[in-house]
Chain A
Amino acid sequence: MSAVKTFPRRAASSPALPTLFLLAATLATVLLAVGLGSVPISPADTLKAIGHGLSGAELSGNDVIVWQLRLPRVALGWLVGAALGVSGGAFQGVFRNPLADPYLMGVASGAGLGATLVIALGLATLWLPLFALTGAMLSVFTALLIAREGNRLPPARLILAGVVVGSILTAFTTYLLLQNADRIRQVFAFTLGNLAFAGWPQVGRLLPYVLIGGGALLLLARALNTLQLGDLTARSLGLPVERLRLLVIVAASLCTAGAVSYAGIIGFIGLVTPHLVRRLWGADHRILLPISAIAGGTLLVLSDLLARTLTRPAELPVGVVTTLLGGPFFLYLLRRQKT
């Protein structure tokens, strides 16, 4: 199968160096993201605020901004980026298709419809994550049901079903939007991603999705490696190909749906991160998936840092930043890739 070729099994000459660099970049990004924001706060005060927050002492002045706004925003951003990175890597692996991204099975359009319903019906925004999550998972299961062929889940049918279910849901969303033109911007903000009101409770609620979904994907990494040999070979090696595909799709969608319901639809992280990681670390999913999680988290925290500081104290939508950074970068990778 020609798609296998796009995943060269070439081991990077020295994966230790890029790993070291990634960890340093992660640390630096997180420190900068906590230290910088629309309100200027000195590093000393930032450290003091974290001390107060950790010790449970009374928060005063800038403590609140550091401990209750910035830190959880960085934490949520990192979790969301990690979820998108690991799901993107898993989707590209399970479909053996470098164009796959976490939204392939209609997660984004399902979540978008859920969010739009909340906004159009004028429900409290507290309901938004639940509706978005439900919409996302429903659209994935619909696509899975439609694509099923007896006991089999052929990749091409899955992709088509996902794309078409997504288009149908988007049509509903667009219709609802036109009926509620005065609330259009709120939905628009969701579709561009938004971390503005990230707090510790949201971090706590998203964590299980990422741990369970991401953990499951890491456990399936070896099987994903075998799947790269093609369905036939994998089956002859005793791999339950259809069950693996179903598990990976459900786990990655759960991870993505959780992320989308708390942060909106953030583009390009899930597509670009695995490509970048594959270039430097190779295509072994046991390494690709965890590194994609770390890199995805770091890239999103970095994008959000730019989103909230470039025009401060105003903010850019984080999805615009990820796309403006990710899009050209992806094109660069594409140009350099030899087929």
Chain B
Amino acid sequence: MYKLMFLSAALLTTAAHATAYPLTLTDDTGRKVTLKAEPLRIVSFLPSNTETICAIGGCDKLVGVDEYSDFPASVTRLPKVGNLYQPNIEAVVALKPDLVIVSKYGDLTAPLTNAGINVLAVNPETYEDVFSKTQLLGKIINRQAQATALVTQMRRDIARVEILAKNAVKKPTAYYEIDPTPYTVGPNSFVGVLLSKAGGANIIPAALGDFPKISPELVVKSAPQLIFGVDLATAKARPGWNTIPAVKSGRVIKDDALDHILSRPGPRLPQAFLGLAKLVHPELFK
């Protein structure tokens, strides 16, 4: 079945053609945007979009990035234009971009379009978004073949790990904390999907939504075997948490480097996924 998938992906690659400009599309804020020609001077305001653009061979088109864009290393040398919420509009205008790629958050569209600059919001949020937005960015910057190849590669890398995890005998129950309020992730969120693909059983019911604030009672009651996003000392100090199996066995993991790439719905998704799977099922990756 996977062979079939690769075959069809390969077919798609050969079928991919150059983007025809002018290109009109509806962006993630619902605006109709027309690109008159292939963008050559791009400013990116989202680290994940920056990574994707570079991964499909558009790095040389970038003339500026937001201050959080730090991968690949080459983008750190580009002029910084602030961030979505504190943008340096003058710096953006001075770079004379022919396209600024923003998020649907922040209010950059109006000031930039008023300055005569073309703005487009691309917002990867869900697991499938990572792939569809990669294809979309490929279309926007005329790198469709590369985008398709990247998506194929990413899906293949993820599938390899996923199959291993799927065959695991035991699925440890897991709790993933995003901040100590505590907020956590539901099974349908980006991280929630990765967690279950990695062979972990999320203790949070889907009915609570993607980013619920939950009662610590629920965590104690669910007795997860794995806890992410908290360090062991903090977990031990929380009332009643020393009875949780994960805390007893020390499988309480705060991996800042992994959390960092997990927060980027971009081309490093397979790498993040592999990292997560290794933590959920260390026995499979010896």
| Chain A interface (Cβ < 8 Å from any Cβ of B) | 37-39, 59, 62, 64-65, 67-70, 72, 124-126, 178, 181-183, 185-186, 189, 194, 196-200, 308, 312-317
Docked-complex contact A199 and B218, CB < 8 angstroms: no
Stretch at the interface among B12-20, B23-31, B234-242: B234-242
Is B180 part of the binding interface, using a Cβ–Cβ cutoff of 8 Å? yes
Docked-complex contact B208 and A313, CB < 8 angstroms: yes
Docked-complex contact A65 and B240, CB < 8 angstroms: yes
Docked-complex contact A196 and B181, CB < 8 angstroms: yes
- CB neighbours (8 Å) of A185 from chain B are 179, 181, 183
* Shortest 8 CB-CB contacts between residues of A and residues of B: A199-B239, A68-B240, A38-B215, A189-B181, A313-B218, A39-B221, A64-B240, A314-B212
A69 to B86, CA, bound (A): 41
A240 to B86, CA, bound (A): 52
A133 to B282, CA, bound (A): 43
Digit string of B187-201 for contact with A (CB within 8 Å is 1, else 0)?
Answer: 000000000000000
Interface residues of B in 206-225 (CB under 8 A from A): 208-209, 212-218, 220-221
Docked-complex contact A72 and B214, CB < 8 angstroms: no
Given A72-B239, A189-B179, A314-B213, 12 more A-B residue pairs with CB atoms under 8 Å apart are: A38-B215, A65-B217, A69-B216, A69-B239, A69-B240, A125-B180, A126-B234, A126-B237, A186-B180, A312-B215, A314-B215, A315-B215
CB distance from B187 to the nearest CB of A (A): 14
| Chain B interface (Cβ < 8 Å from any Cβ of A) | 83-86, 179-183, 205, 208-209, 212-218, 220-221, 233-234, 237-240, 243, 263
Docked-complex contact B240 and A194, CB < 8 angstroms: no
Query: Given A181-B85, A194-B181, do A315 and B213 touch, yes or no (CB 8 Å)?
Result: yes
CB distance from A308 to the nearest CB of B (A): 5
CB distance from B210 to the nearest CB of A (A): 12
CB distance from B157 to the nearest CB of A (A): 27
Docked-complex contact A313 and B217, CB < 8 angstroms: yes
- CB neighbours (8 Å) of A181 from chain B are 83-85
Docked-complex contact A59 and B180, CB < 8 angstroms: no
Scoring A64, A70, A200 by chain B CB atoms within 10 A of each residue's CB, the highest score goes to A64
CB distance from B68 to the nearest CB of A (A): 9
Docked-complex contact A197 and B216, CB < 8 angstroms: yes
Docked-complex contact B239 and A200, CB < 8 angstroms: yes
A37 to B221, CA, bound (A): 11
Q: Which partner residue on chain A sits nearest B181 by CB separation? A: A189
Docked-complex contact B238 and A186, CB < 8 angstroms: no
Docked-complex contact A196 and B237, CB < 8 angstroms: no
14 residue pairs of the A-B complex, CB under 8 angstroms, read A38-B217, A65-B220, A65-B221, A65-B240, A69-B216, A69-B220, A124-B233, A181-B85, A189-B181, A196-B216, A197-B180, A308-B215, A314-B208, A317-B213
CB distance from B21 to the nearest CB of A (A): 35
A313 to B220, CA, bound (A): 12
A185 to B217, CA, bound (A): 21
- CB neighbours (8 Å) of A67 from chain B are 240
- CB neighbours (8 Å) of A68 from chain B are 239-240
- CB neighbours (8 Å) of A194 from chain B are 181
- CB neighbours (8 Å) of A198 from chain B are 239
Docked-complex contact B213 and A197, CB < 8 angstroms: no
Docked-complex contact A183 and B179, CB < 8 angstroms: yes
A307 to B200, CA, bound (A): 30
- CB neighbours (8 Å) of A62 from chain B are 221
A198 to B238, CA, bound (A): 8
Q: Which partner residue on chain A sits nearest B211 by CB separation? A: A185
Docked-complex contact A39 and B218, CB < 8 angstroms: yes
Q: Which partner residue on chain B sits nearest A126 by CB separation? A: B237
Scoring B83, B86, B234, B240 by chain A CB atoms within 10 A of each residue's CB, the highest score goes to B240
A186 to B179, CA, bound (A): 7
Docked-complex contact A70 and B217, CB < 8 angstroms: yes
- Among candidates A125, A183, A314, residue contacting B214 with C-beta atoms closer than 8 Å: A314
- CB neighbours (8 Å) of B234 from chain A are 124-126
Docked-complex contact A313 and B214, CB < 8 angstroms: yes
- CB neighbours (8 Å) of B86 from chain A are 178
Docked-complex contact A315 and B214, CB < 8 angstroms: yes
CB distance from A127 to the nearest CB of B (A): 12
Query: Given A64-B220, A185-B179, do A196 and B215 touch, yes or no (CB 8 Å)?
Result: yes
Query: Given A39-B217, A189-B181, do A197 and B212 touch, yes or no (CB 8 Å)?
Result: no
CB distance from B215 to the nearest CB of A (A): 4
A179 to B212, CA, bound (A): 24
Query: Given A186-B180, A199-B238, do A64 and B214 touch, yes or no (CB 8 Å)?
Result: no
Q: Which partner residue on chain A sits nearest B67 by CB separation? A: A179
- CB neighbours (8 Å) of A125 from chain B are 180, 234
- CB neighbours (8 Å) of A65 from chain B are 217, 220-221, 240
Q: Which partner residue on chain B sits nearest A189 by CB separation? A: B181
A125 to B229, CA, bound (A): 13
A39 to B222, CA, bound (A): 10
- CB neighbours (8 Å) of A315 from chain B are 213-215
A169 to B263, CA, bound (A): 31
A126 to B230, CA, bound (A): 13
A292 to B180, CA, bound (A): 32
Docked-complex contact B238 and A197, CB < 8 angstroms: yes
A64 to B240, CA, bound (A): 6
CB distance from A40 to the nearest CB of B (A): 10
- CB neighbours (8 Å) of B83 from chain A are 181
CB distance from B42 to the nearest CB of A (A): 23
- CB neighbours (8 Å) of B212 from chain A are 314
